[in-house]
């Protein structure tokens, strides 16, 4: 079946450090891939998306590239800020039934 695996957290970085959060997936066909972010006490917000192989999604300085050959969609940011502290979820849509399949989430802590 379809599944998403994310690196476990928490990930703790200093401000202005480079961020990578790994995400790999298993799916039949050609899923759409997403990163969502959940700030403390808030709902899930769509951060970025990619719908086909080699697409790069980007938003707010975050980027992720849809790599079909490695079935990966790693999240990166060149210089993190304290305000980026949140839980980040990788998800896929298999399109056939519209539900999103989620990773367990990675808590990111940025220290000033």
44 binds another protein (CB under 8 A): yes
Q: How far is the CB of 112 from another protein (least distance, A)?
A: 25
Selected from 1, 29, 43, 112, the binder of another protein by CB under 8 A is 43
Question: Please, which of residues 66-95 interact with another protein by CB under 8 A?
Answer: 89, 91, 93, 95
Q: Nearer Cβ to another protein, position 49 or 77?
A: 49
C-alpha–C-alpha distance, residues 19 and 100, integer Å: 25
C-alpha span between 41 and 86 (Å, rounded): 10
Residue 58 engages another protein in binding (rule: CB under 8 A): no
Q: DSSP for 19-56? A: EEE-EEEE-SS--EEEEEEE-TTS-EEEEEEE-STT-E
**Is the CA virtual torsion 88, 31, 23, 20 positive or negative?**
negative
Residues that bind another protein (CB under 8 A): 4, 32, 34, 36, 42-46, 49, 51, 89, 91, 93, 95, 97-105
């Amino acid at each position: 079946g379809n599944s998403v695996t994310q690196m476990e957290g928490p990930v703790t970085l200093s401000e202005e450090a480079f961020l990578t959060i790994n995400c790999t997936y298993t799916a039949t066909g050609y899923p759409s891939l997403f990163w969502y972010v959940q700030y403390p006490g808030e709902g899930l917000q769509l951060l970025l998306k990619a719908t086909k192989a080699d697409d790069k999604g980007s938003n707010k300085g975050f980027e992720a590239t849809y790599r079909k050959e490695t079935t990966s969609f790693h999240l990166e940011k060149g210089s993190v800020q304290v305000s980026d502290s949140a839980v980040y979820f990788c998800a896929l849509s298999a399109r056939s039934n519209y539900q999103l399949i989620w990773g367990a989430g990675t808590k990111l802590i940025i220290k000033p």
